[in-house]
Amino acid sequence: MDSTFYIVAVIAVLLVGFGKGGMGDALGLMGVPILTFVMPAVQAAAILLPILVVMDIIALWNWRAHWHRPTLMILLPGALIGIVIGWMTFAIVPDYVMRLLIGAVALSFIGRFFYNRYFKGNAVQPPRENTPVRATIWSTLSGYGSFIAHAGGAPFQVYALPLRLSPKDYTGTAVRFFAIINALKLGPYYLIGALSVGNLKMSAMLIPVALVATTAGAFCVKRMKPDVFYPLMYFMCALAGLKLAWDGISELAGLLG
């Protein structure tokens, strides 16, 4: 491995770590695409998973006092369903289909938010209540997207942002949700042969970078006011949707061309 690998890998892990610390899933989405400059996409996802688990441990400590239990509990069953579906269909469902679908949904959600905010008299929507049907749909998509490509953040945001939890409770809930998802993914990833000794060694080398980035992200978010935090999260959701949709369209165009 040359210096280019380490430079690219450090940049990817820094961005994922800032996202894990609470700065938004759009940053986390950049991890696998950046790593694909120096390795295959499947290997990039496999190397990132153990790093994500370590980041989750740090994030859980940083956000140990903040979360919203009802929201987490209502989301977990669907997430488990999504992981199982992802595991069962990993070899037969094209990655671009999932990326395009989730990206389109996230962008439509953001479009609705900005329409309500800027074209309906700056109307502020009242907080939504937790509902089992919506929670199951979006958490299933989140679990599935996370298993296939570590891309479960956008569906989580579509469901959780309208609840308008406090920034700390929102972030703490997201941290717990994805920590559980990533822990559950370890077994299936091992069974499909993705967690090889070589990949685990590369993961271990990048863990110190992950620790610093995750702590720095949490430090920033804990000092944000709601009127700064929520526009930033919606912006990050928009970036995530654009990235997913672009990846899906690009791969589909390549197949058709």
Per-residue pLDDT of 35-84, as tens digits, reads 777 777 678 788 889 998 988 888 898 889 999 999 999 999 999 999 99
Predicted local distance difference test score (pLDDT) of residue 67 = 93
* Residue 142 vs residue 242, higher pLDDT: 142
* Residue 210 vs residue 226, higher pLDDT: 210
The pTM of this model reads: 0.75
Q: Tokens for 239?
A: 């970036």
* Residue 196 vs residue 33, higher pLDDT: 196
* Residue 176 vs residue 43, higher pLDDT: 176
Predicted local distance difference test score (pLDDT) of residue 109 = 67
Confidence of residue 136 (pLDDT cuts 50, 70, 90): very high
Flag the least confident range among 86-90, 106-110, 162-166.
106-110
* Residue 241 vs residue 87, higher pLDDT: 87
The average pLDDT across 231-254 equals 78
Of 5-9, 39-43, 118-122, give the range with the top mean pLDDT: 5-9
User: Residue 1: is its pLDDT beyond 70?
Assistant: no
